[in-house]
Amino acid sequence: MLATHDDRITSAVERLGSENAFEVLARARQLEAQGRRVVHMEIGEPDFDTPEHIKKAAVEALYDSHTHYTPSAGIPLLRATIAEYASRFRHISPVYTAENVVVGPGAKPIIWNVLSALLNPGDDFIYFDPAYPAYASCSSYLQANVHAIPLLESRNWRMDLDELETRVSKKTKALVINSPHNPTGGVLTRGDLERIAEMAQRHDFLVIADEIYSRNFYLDSDYLSIAALDGMRDRTIIVDGFSKAYAMTGWRLGYAILPEALAKVVTLFNNNTFSCVTGFVQMAGVAALTGPDEPVRRMNETFRQRRDRLVAGLNDIDGLSCTLPEGAFYAFPNAMAITHDDKALAKFLLEEGGVACGGGSSFGAAGKGYLRFSYAASIEDIDWALKQIATVLPQFNG
Ligand SMILES: Cc1ncc(COP(=O)(O)O)c(C=O)c1O
């Protein structure tokens, strides 16, 4: 008989969360293996192929033997390229230098290492709800004193800043924001960012700005980073990466931009966990940032068309209502007229309709009664999914 080993596992494991999207994906693949048609709207990855010039750069780097260990903070060329790109794209002054950049195998491990570098047990840490699960998981693991600020559907999924005002204090160590936002597609306005910046300076806390969707942005104005506001460059930690903008999820490449002293500590965590990032993948990252930007803009335009189609279609279905996302590639419809049990509804849509999506409560308590659809699917698949939802939904009795 196999031992369960339960008594050997650290109790800290109970504080870890996980990304439910991967579980939905596994079930969707099982159904497909049985011959069922499934439209994948559960997982947050672009369905496009990585642009050709990026692949080519990786292959060339592989043949140039970029196949050895690299520095734990990332290769100097990629760090310098990221510093230049990020300063230009975000209008940062004074510009960032390579010393401000720490590279990791995806933004997710970088989030883990940044929080590990900052949070002592009992430190006040503020994030938002619903949210990408990594923040709650890591900060709870580290035994921080966590505060989740609701995002409000009535504010087009922007943070409740009055609530934030009541939770910040001199004890606050760091606040995370994520604009555009997973899972809702919400974007913070200049006014929101200015108010958050004022609180950060008044109470002397750091802002972790997860800007991984900064290139998946549908407003006509330029993207605005909180790091560009007065007094914020040196108290902001930008988290970004290549997964979403360049359709490079499987390459595993992300980074943080932060004050040099903190960069050194995050580098120490890199050194102790994954050591370094694959050399030829980093060279592909250099090509992504220095090569033509047109593929990024083309993908974004396609996402915008899909967003319009999906959101209009969802709003046409009885019982669902959906705000218009301003960034990222997720729609987050309200299904409360049908049920508050979003996970049961998501399961039903997959099993009965072949539409894979996420239950909103997988992203936090404030997501209860919502669904998350990733529109990384073709217009044909989106149309089919909408038809399936409209057909099977009246049979749901959860
Ligand atoms: C808000 C947010 N941050 C970070 C990540 C991590 O991305 P990666 O680890 O692929 O760079 C994701 C991925 O879904 C995300 O949605």
Q: At residue 177, what is the residue type?
A: I
Return the pLDDT at 185. 97
Counted residue by residue, the chain has a size of 398
Spatial contact of 281 and 324, defined as CB atoms under 8 Å apart? no
Closest CA to 124 of 170, 177, 192: 170
Ligand 1 atom having least distance to the Cα of 109: 9
Q: Pocket of ligand 1, candidates 137, 177, 212, 332: which has the most ligand atoms within 8 Å of its Cβ, to mutate?
A: 212
Spatial contact of 37 and 381, defined as CB atoms under 8 Å apart? no
Q: What's the gap in Å between 107 CA and the centre of ligand 1?
A: 6
Ligand 1 atom having least distance to the Cα of 19: 14
Q: Which residues line ligand 1 (CB under 6 A)?
A: 44, 106-108, 132, 178, 182, 210, 212, 241, 243, 249, 254
Spatial contact of 223 and 214, defined as CB atoms under 8 Å apart? yes
Q: What's the gap in Å between 397 CA and the centre of ligand 1?
A: 34
Number of other residues whose CB lies within 10 A of the CB of residue 219: 12
165-to-76, 190, 192 alpha-carbon distances in Å: 40, 17, 12
Confidence (pTM): 0.96
- Ligand 1, atom 14, lies closest to the CA of 44
Q: What's the gap in Å between 132 CA and the centre of ligand 1?
A: 8
Q: Pocket of ligand 1, candidates 102, 108, 273: which has the most ligand atoms within 8 Å of its Cβ, to mutate?
A: 108
Return the pLDDT at 1. 57
Q: What's the gap in Å between 316 CA and the centre of ligand 1?
A: 30
Closest CA to 357 of 183, 97, 114, 127: 183
Ligand 1 atom having least distance to the Cα of 254: 11
Weakly modelled stretches of the chain, pLDDT under 70: 1-2
Q: What's the gap in Å between 388 CA and the centre of ligand 1?
A: 29
